[in-house]
A and B are shown apart, each in its own frame.
Chain A
């Protein structure tokens, strides 16, 4: 039973992560490849709070404070990284975000007080399924509403055509930076969930490969689709466990299967399962590409 509960928790954490990347990649169209860096910053920030500064209060309250700290730390990183990076476009932006997330990882790796290369241990266990799934629901509602708000429409217009959006009076840099900060912050929340769930952190858990894994979840579901992100996260979190049940050898092929899936998806259906659409969508609110 514990095993299934753990998988369920992981699914929840990855849904939060995927939704946050979907805001940057799917809504705003800024190709970020360093999302695991924000995840790691959030995780380490809340772990530092949990280990060194924990207040003698109820775990639930502590968890709340920890999540706030994870959110602010990652959002601050998003701000600091976003200001220089978002002047770049397309593949340059992708490379710059990889660079920053690797630098963050190397800094963590070289900081002895938070474990360095040995990993950070003895983090209090505060995460419960209620926290995880409560936050999943909150994030989902937030993202769905965001898509229909003026802010959401503005960033979607940036994805569709930057020059046209700029002529309509949208401050490109402003909106890009905002979506970057919010996306990073929500990834930080996922980080704080993971820190207080696994009670152990290692810098290598937040490397480039994990950024790619989150990206594949977004792409599989369809960039810009909330239901797509949720479905993508569920499929790709459960798939390795199913493979493990069938045959323990197959599980070692996990990344090979992921990457092959990614290639096949791009060759056959580059827009993902749902494309930019939602599962239950009224025509009135359709915000997808008009062809």
Chain B
């Protein structure tokens, strides 16, 4: 093999590592999406904006010289509380109106947070003050930073936590029951309003966590939620919406594909590739890789 071919393979390996790190972030956001969709069948367009608001909470906490763990908790709580308010004020009153009004409300909420955020926080990207010292490990030609490793391990931990929560706790069983059949769960004495609110809080606080990590690796800006939210949704659909491991799988697939395309071909096609994958999946298996087919009945 010539020297160029060997370098090409090293480069591909590097893109793969970067893709896994970015895919972890998509996976964390997609988990929130998929849980909310699983429970009330709503495509929550405002999910990316919960992420943005969470990132800003973390940013301000770091600006006040608070340590990183406090900032992470602040962003998770901030995003979660905003989600609770949005759910109570906007989604709950129209939950029984059908899916399209709910979808429109979600788009409205999303745009409202984006543009009002731009007016309040300013449209310029803000860099988060560095707290970690970045250590780069070298394996041959590949560089892996400690932040990438941290994000990846965190994602695995979150997956394990969600698996434990939905399988072995009382609230997790209630969540599964609600997502299976809302009316029947209500008849069994489950307070479905509280379960839905809890799901929103959990999903949004995960996205807040992804937000501060994203802001830490890149920058914090009011429009950051838009493309990330759409991509996380794509990840959720690719993996099978409503299925928790599916969201993580979709996130990793998307992150790797994007970095590969951007590295090997052209970086301006980075945003296009996720939609391309989405359409491919919707054509081949609309319920997603891990999803189950549901037949429509009269």
Contact = CB atoms under 8 A, between A and B. Distances in A.
- Are A and B physically bound partners? yes
Interface of A: 31, 33, 84-85, 87-88, 90-92, 94-96, 98-100, 102-103, 106-107, 109-110, 163, 208-209, 212, 215, 219, 252-253, 255-256, 258-260, 262-263, 266-267, 270
A267 B102 CA distance: 9
17 contacts: A31-B103, A84-B282, A95-B233, A95-B237, A95-B278, A95-B282, A96-B278, A99-B234, A99-B276, A219-B104, A256-B111, A258-B111, A260-B108, A260-B112, A263-B112, A266-B105, A267-B90
Interface in B171-230: 226, 230
Contact of A262 (B94, B104, B233, B269): B104
B272 interface: yes
A262 B234 CA distance: 24
B279 interface: yes
Given A255-B115, A267-B90, A106 B272 contact: yes
A266 B101 CA distance: 6
B99 interface: yes
B109 interface: yes
Contacts of A90: 99-100
Interface string B254-281: 0000000000001011011001101100
B130 interface: no
B103 A267 contact: no
A163 B298 contact: yes
B107 interface: yes
B93 interface: yes
B269 A102 contact: no
Contact of B268 (A94, A95, A106): A106
Contacts of B226: 208
Contacts of A255: 111, 114-115
B283 interface: yes
Nearest to A270: B101
A209 B234 CA distance: 18
Given A106-B271, A266-B101, A96 B108 contact: no
B134 interface: no
B283 A84 contact: yes
Nearest to B98: A270
Contacts of B141: none
A208 B269 CA distance: 17
A208 B223 CA distance: 13
A267 B94 contact: yes
Nearest to A263: B108
Nearest to B107: A212
A256 B105 contact: no
Contacts of A256: 111-112, 115-116, 119
B30 interface: no
B109 A263 contact: yes
A106 B110 CA distance: 22
A25 to B, nearest CB: 9
B4 interface: no
Contact of A266 (B108, B110, B115, B269): B108
A87 B284 CA distance: 11
A253 B119 contact: yes
Contacts of B114: 255
B275 A103 contact: yes
Contacts of B43: 91, 94-95
A92 B279 CA distance: 10
A259 B275 contact: no
B195 to A, nearest CB: 21
A203 B105 CA distance: 27
